[in-house]
Structure formats: C-alpha cells, structure tokens
Amino acid sequence: MARYLDNGRQLATFAANLNDRLKMIETTPLFDIHQTQTSRLDQVDFNALEFGKVFSDHMFVMEYEGGAWQRGKIEPYGPFTMSPASMVFHYGQAIFEGMKAFRQDNGQVSLFRPGMNIARFNKSAVRMCMPEVPEDIFMEALAALVKLDASWVPDGPSTSLYIRPFMIATDSYVGVRASKKYAFSIFTCPVGAYYKQPVKVKVEKYFTRATPGGTGFAKAAGNYAGSLYPLEKARAEGFDQLLWTDAIEHKYIEESGTMNAMFVLNDVLISPETSDTILDGVTRDTVLKLAEDLGFKVEIRRFSVEELHAGLESGLLTEAFGVGTAATLKPMAEIGLDGIRYQMTDAKEWKIAPRLMREFDGIRRGKIEDRFSWNIPV
C-alpha cells in the first residue's frame, strides 16, 4: 500500500507539513535544484492554451544505474541526449502518469490526489520489469517542481497544470532483456481542455486494446501505440474515440482510449469494474466516491454491449461519459454501435454527470470543502 494513498491521516499530515518539508530541501535536499536564468513565462498566452503544447520552465530528472537510484536534480526544461541503442527504442520499456495541479480560489496551488498516481506508477513499473521510484523522493520532487513553477499554473475555468512523470529504459544494448539503466523524469505544462466539445465514440468489436495477463492495467506507452491504428480508422468515420470491448468475446465494455467509461441506465450510475485489462483511473475513483457520497445509486460491474444496445434502443440509457485526468468528465454526444449512430440527449439536461462535475471541479479548485483531503497545497 502506497504511503501517500489519500485515504487516511498520513496524507493530511503530509499536506500540513509539506511547506516545512520543502524548506528543508533548501538546506538538506534529496536532490539538486538548478533554476533557469531565462524564464519563458512571458511567451505564453494563458488565454489560448492548447493541451500538451506548452511546457514549463523546469523538469526533474533522476537516473537508475548499478541497481540504485542516483541523486536527482531539477533543471531547466530541455532535451535528453540518448544513444540510438537505448533499449526504450527497441524493446518498449516506457511508462508514464498523468496528474494535475490547480489554482485555488484563494490563489494557492494544490496537487490533486498525487498519492494514487505515485502508487499506480510503481505498479506499472513492476509489471514492465522496471525499478520502483521511492515514494518520498517522487513526492518531494513533484511538490518542489510545481512550487518552483507555480507561476505557470493557470487560473481559467477549464485550465490546470498538467504533470507528466515518466520512466524509460536507457541501457545501450541490443538484446531482449530488461534494461539495467533507466531515466525517471517529471515535466509540467499549462493546459486548457483536452476535449473542447462532447465526444463521439465508436464501440470497437474487432481490434483489441488489452488482453488478460497483459499490460492493460499499466500506463505503458505500448498500450497507446497499439491503439492508434484503430483510432485513426474510427476518426475517418467521424468519431473522436473508441469504446474498447473485452479481447476474448468483445461482449463487454471496458474503457475508452483516454478515459474510463461510465453510463447511467435506469437512473443507476454504472462503471465497468477494473481488471488487468482496464486502467484503474484516479478520476474514475474520484467520481465514484463523489457519486456515492451524493447519494446516487452506483454499480461497479461488468457492463455488456448487449445492455448498452438495449439501453440506447429503449432510451433508458440516459447518460454516457468518460472520466480521466486529461479529459476530466466529458459527455458522449454520440455512440456508434454495429453501424448505427445513437445520439445522446443534450448533456445540459442530464441529472448525474453535471452534478458530479460541479462537485469534482469545486473541490479541486477550492470552491467546495475538500472533505476527502484530496488536495495537497504547495
């Protein structure tokens, strides 16, 4: 169990003491800090942010070699120098995470549920035969980096600071085995909305994203690479994303390409249960906890394509939406299934998703009491 999983006193204690811990870094740091002399902040139009195209001033880098993590450093954002024989290019050992920091109503900057992301990152590392990152170093580096680049955190209604930790294999070797060297890094970028409009999704019943016993539960880069071809085919048909189905029978809904999927059928919020083929999303967990707290009926179970079809045909399926760190909570405007394109009603008329979104956004931006201790101020 990760030490900073946000379901108890440990996270609240960490949040309360974080500023003191960051001050200690200045005198007894766990890593070095080299601050840029030329900030690029004045080059950014914060009123026209696109997702993932603008990057903040600094990044954290730490290398693994000789069976141990070496001393890391925060340094100006810039390119890596790597050998063409680096194993990540040939054998695909690469994992990542996505998390966010928000500008609160009082101007303070807070990380949202970073403990879950740290735990999931290390779970992905184990599956991909990579070394786990010590939680203390991960958390301290994350907090110090965001604190250093706090001016990059936007304050618009659909904006945030997106945070991308990742790890890649860097050993120069051509041969199939786990690398003996790795680079762990964190960079950040101010972003606007990932999807600017409700999405159109197609139920995919031929191609497969993940198989039992595979890496579907991990945020491994290869999972996303394998999804690109079927996604391009769907986009050629006018869809924005896919709704993946199980690899064995293609009878059960799993997740969408960039987010977990949720449905409201007969006034019940249904979330496909996670497995080794479905990513255990942080936003998914957040939304489910909020739904239960607000008194909505919730079912976490297998959800069949047949149920989806029947609900669309009868009109009893009244809401469908995706939830993810980048996407946040995004309504599905259209669902394509077996050649039929089902139009959903206007999301503004829905009962559950808008209420969840208001609560979710209010908590992470400090507009609503953080009764779950999800925010960590930096």
Residues 63-72 have pLDDT tens digits of 999 999 999 9
Q: Check residue 17 and give its pLDDT.
A: 61
Residues 188-237 have pLDDT tens digits of 999 999 999 999 999 999 999 999 999 999 999 999 999 999 999 999 99
- C-alpha angle with apex 272: 325 to 309, nearest 5 degrees? 115
Residue 80: alpha-carbon gap to chain centroid: 23
Q: Check residue 156 and give its pLDDT.
A: 87
Residues 36-72 have pLDDT tens digits of 999 999 999 999 999 999 999 999 999 999 999 999 9
Per-residue pLDDT at 73 exceeds 90: yes
Q: Check residue 8 and give its pLDDT.
A: 43
**Would you place residue 14 in the very low, low, confident or very high pLDDT band (cuts 50, 70, 90)?**
low
Across the range 339-368, mean pLDDT stands at 96
Which residues lie across from 204 on neighbouring strands?
Answer: 244
Q: Check residue 20 and give its pLDDT.
A: 61
Q: Check residue 257 and give its pLDDT.
A: 85
Across the range 7-35, mean pLDDT stands at 64
Q: Check residue 19 and give its pLDDT.
A: 58
Cβ-Cβ contacts under 8 Å for 303 (sequence gap 6 or more):
252, 253, 263, 270, 271, 272
- C-alpha angle with apex 159: 241 to 152, nearest 5 degrees? 125
Residue from 99, 101, 89 nearest 119 by CA: 99
Per-residue pLDDT at 18 exceeds 90: no
Which class is 9-192 in CATH?
Answer: alpha beta
**Would you place residue 1 in the very low, low, confident or very high pLDDT band (cuts 50, 70, 90)?**
very low
What are the Cα distances from residue 269, in Å, to 49, 117, 257, 263?
33, 24, 20, 6
What are the Cα distances from residue 371, in Å, to 99, 175, 247, 306, 364?
20, 51, 39, 38, 11
Q: Is 171 exposed, middle or buried (0-12, 13-18, 19+ CB in 10 A)?
A: buried
Which string of b and e fits 67-99 if b means at least 16 CB within 10 Å? Answer: eebeebbbbeeeeeeeeeebbbeebebbbbbbb
What is the average pLDDT score of the chain?
Answer: 93
Reading the block at residue 319, the tokens are 């809401």
Cβ-Cβ contacts under 8 Å for 209 (sequence gap 6 or more):
216, 223, 226, 227, 242, 244, 247, 254, 255, 257, 277
Q: In angstroms, rounded to a whole number, what is the distance separating the alpha carbons of residues 332 and 153?
A: 28
- The CATH number of 199-364 is which of 3.40.630.30, 3.65.10.10, 3.20.10.10, 3.40.630.10? 3.20.10.10
Residues 288-346 have pLDDT tens digits of 999 999 999 999 999 999 999 999 999 999 999 999 999 899 999 999 999 999 999 99
Q: In angstroms, rounded to a whole number, what is the distance separating the alpha carbons of residues 94 and 72?
A: 19
What are the Cα distances from residue 228, in Å, to 194, 239, 240, 241?
17, 13, 12, 10
Per-residue pLDDT at 7 exceeds 60: no
Residues 145-180 have pLDDT tens digits of 999 999 999 998 899 999 999 999 999 999 999 999
Spatial contact of 319 and 352, defined as CB atoms under 8 Å apart: yes
**Would you place residue 4 in the very low, low, confident or very high pLDDT band (cuts 50, 70, 90)?**
low
Residues 228-285 have pLDDT tens digits of 999 999 999 999 999 999 999 999 999 998 899 999 999 999 999 999 999 999 999 9
Check the CA dihedral 175-176-178-184 and report its sign: positive
Return the domain boundaries, the chain.
Answer: 9-192, 199-364
Per-residue pLDDT at 27 exceeds 90: no
Which residues lie across from 242 on neighbouring strands?
Answer: 202
What are the Cα distances from residue 117, in Å, to 300, 312, 371?
21, 34, 20
H-helix or E-strand containing 230? helix 228-236
Per-residue pLDDT at 79 exceeds 60: yes
Q: Check residue 266 and give its pLDDT.
A: 96
